[in-house]
Amino acid sequence: MGLHSLNRKEPREEIYRLLDEFKARPEVKGIIKEGKTIEYSAHLITEGGIHTKPRVYTDGMLVVGDAAGLGLNMLVTVRGMEYAIASGVLAGRAIKRAKENNDFSASSLACYEKLLNESFIMQEMNTFRHTLTVLENERLFSKYPQVICDLFEKVMWVDEHSKESLYHTVYRGLKENFLNLQTFKDWLEFRKL
């Protein structure tokens, strides 16, 4: 279950209600009928990307994984677990160096930041630095999917009327809904990904 753009507006659903609805689904209800919820929790995944990454080192401490802001929503998947593992490995290398030099000061541990910046983690976070801008576009989650669903419905619907060609149905749907200035602007934003 996910939450979208909490910084923009109130969520439409309470998480505990979503969980209750999920548990009430017929395909789930039978599996858990003898079970008892003892505790539940939710964990929001950071998706601020490179713009919200905090300083990841200080005297005697390194920060890794999502605590270090190392999470990335790539629209089709959320990257985080591998970033946590990789940043942990890099932190281990930085700690090893610090131990060899017997120096755990911020200046000694700063090599962790350098290791991060040279890693695939920060390269990907830089590549996808515009993701939040795209994700905050409500049309991506409402209008565009609805238009596609409506178009498929027109193509698949069976009634007593004969259909026009598939080309004309698709062309008309695309022309009416996608060939406009707003969609062009959205596409320009999407190209940044």
Span 9-66, pLDDT tens digits = 566 677 778 888 988 999 999 999 888 888 777 667 777 788 888 999 999 999 999 8
Most confident of 17-21, 56-60, 68-72, 172-176: 56-60
**One domain for residues 118 and 147:** no
Gyration radius of the chain over CA positions: 24
Residues 14 and 66 in one domain: no
Q: Structurally, how many domains does the chain consist of?
A: 3
- Percentage of residues in the chain having pLDDT higher than 70: 93
* pLDDT for the residue 193: 78
Closest CA to 4 of 99, 142, 127: 142
* 15 Cβ neighbours under 8 A, 6+ residues apart: 1, 3, 42
Percentages of the chain per state (helix, strand, coil), in multiples of 5: 60, 5, 40
Position 22 scores a pLDDT of: 87
Q: Based on the fold, state whether residues 144 and 124 are members of the same structural domain.
A: no
Q: How far apart are CA 49 and CA 73, in angstroms?
A: 8
pTM equals: 0.65
Give the per-residue pLDDT at 38: 80
CB 45 within 8 A of CB 6: no
Same domain assignment for residues 70 and 122: yes
Please tell me whether residues 124 and 54 are part of one structural domain: yes
Range of 167's domain? Answer: 138-190
pLDDT of residue 1: 41
Q: Are residues 65 and 123 in the same domain?
A: yes
